[in-house]
Structure 1
Amino acid sequence: MAAHIKLISHKLCPYVQRAVIALAEKGVSFERIDIDLANKPDWFLAISPLGKTPVLQVGDAAIFESAVILEYLEETQPGPLHPADPLRRAEHRGWIEFGSAVLGDIAGFYSAPDEATFKAKASQLEQRFARLEARVAAAPWFDGEDFSLVDAVFGPVFRYFDVFDKIADFGILSGKPKLVQWRKALAVRPSVRSAVSADYPALLRAFIERRNSWLLGLQARDAA
């Protein structure tokens, strides 16, 4: 009998979304449990040494860190999302790490407390995406016709821009036609769409508003 799988989650966490997408693509049944990271329950801290989501519970075992969870799913579940060729697989792992760096830049972007920091983060993001534009196949997925873990990683990345675009056009994705095409394909992929709840945009907006950052101040100044 297969062990019961639980995914300990936070509604806004992009790293959780990676795991949800991979589980959905592989057709794995699981129970999702959302927690409040601002008020972490003791039982969660007991199984998450870093105090972060996601955590995948497989029976009595707990696996933490999204990259490790993705690799575990690759090793134990059908429907591989990594290329079979070792060299291409290694390259994909590198781009997954690149995706994590982009997420760090996005956090700096929406949290920037002043104009100088905000502009520096926007420029850094634009440069990151220019590198990605040079590599992505977008035919329709990252490396061609097969949906991969790199796609699972960048679905949550582009989801941020669905909210950012309603504030202003920051030019970060401008002049990058392959990324635009890839973003559109990811947006309608069932596994990507269902990785968050319907109230995700409102929750993200509220989260950003609580940061008292330059980003939301910018919108207020434009509306004045």
Structure 2
Amino acid sequence: MPKLKLISFKLCPYVQRTVITLLTKNVPYEIDYIDLNNPPAWFKALSPLGKVPVMQVNDDQVLFESSVIQEYVDEITPPSLHPVDPLVKAKNRAWIAFGGELMGMNGLHGIVHEQDQQACDQIIASIRGLLERLEQVHSGERFFNGATFNLIDAAYAPMLMRFELLKSHCDLDVLEGLPKLQAWQRELMTLDAVQNSVVPELPQLYRGMISHYDGVMAKRLK
């Protein structure tokens, strides 16, 4: 087994995808948290785009982009968490990419960052439309594809955890009226691999981030 070391920051949802995968498969790893606003010089040399997460493999190889890192971990630790059927696997990969869009500036991060009420409302409406599409393709069972936990479940857990924090901190429930996604969120939040994939102080850090941006959501903090 190669030596695996992740570099990220404590609030990063993208590294959490890989950590959940590592914990689910009981793979040993290390993780270093850096200040992304003041990254060390060695990080700039490692990350071609200056983004996290980055994974060092055996100290001398570097991987970047969260979906690539997650896939690598899955491939070197059989059995795979992907479905066996090639078409189902490909569709899962497409919906994982869809989930990445939901977390960006036109999605979850945009809600937290936006300072204009009308623009924030537009982002929320856009997210709701995308989540309605996701609701339609979800199996309606315990996990996305059915009874078995797959890589796509690990990929969506960070977003669903942050939706839970938004509801708790700001009384914003973007999953309202989406019963399959609500049940999926509840199920994933019960898993040890999900709960242990973040630092214990994540709720406080997330609240602090919302407050720091001083946007629409900051005014809704409870």
Residue 41 of structure 1: aligned partner: 40
Displacement of 1:171 in angstroms is 4.5
Residue 187 of structure 1: aligned partner: 189
Displacement of 1:75 in angstroms is 2.1
Displacement of 1:166 in angstroms is 2.2
SS class of match (1:45): helix
Structure 2 unmatched ranges of 5 or more: none
> Which of 122, 126, 129 pairs up with 1:127?
129
Cα distance between partner residues in 2 of 1:195 and 1:22: 9
Report the more deviating stretch, 88-97 or 47-56.
Answer: 47-56
Identity %: 39
Residue 57 of structure 2: aligned partner: 58
Residue 159 of structure 1: aligned partner: 161
Structure 1 unmatched ranges of 5 or more: none
> Aligned pairs, how many?
219
SS class of match (1:174): coil
Residue 214 of structure 1: aligned partner: 216
CA distance 1:166–1:42, change in 2 (3 Å) = same
Cα distance between partner residues in 2 of 1:83 and 1:110: 34
Is 1:123–1:172's contact at 8 Å kept on the other side of the alignment? no
Is 2:163–2:173's contact at 8 Å kept on the other side of the alignment? no
CA RMSD of aligned residues (A): 1.3
Displacement of 1:63 in angstroms is 0.5
Is 1:133–1:178's contact at 8 Å kept on the other side of the alignment? yes
CA displacement 1:126-153 (0-9 Å, x = unmatched) = 1111111111114200110111111011
TM-score scaled by length of structure 2? 0.94
Which runs of structure 1 show a deviation greater than 3 angstroms over 4 or more consecutive aligned residues? 167-171
Residue 95 of structure 1: aligned partner: 95
SS class of match (2:31): strand
Is 1:122–1:170's contact at 8 Å kept on the other side of the alignment? no
TM-score scaled by length of structure 1? 0.93
CA distance 1:72–1:125, change in 2 (3 Å) = same
Cα distance between partner residues in 2 of 1:183 and 1:162: 8
Q: Which amino acid aligns with 1:24?
A: L
Report the more deviating stretch, 184-193 or 158-167.
Answer: 158-167
Is 2:170–2:217's contact at 8 Å kept on the other side of the alignment? no
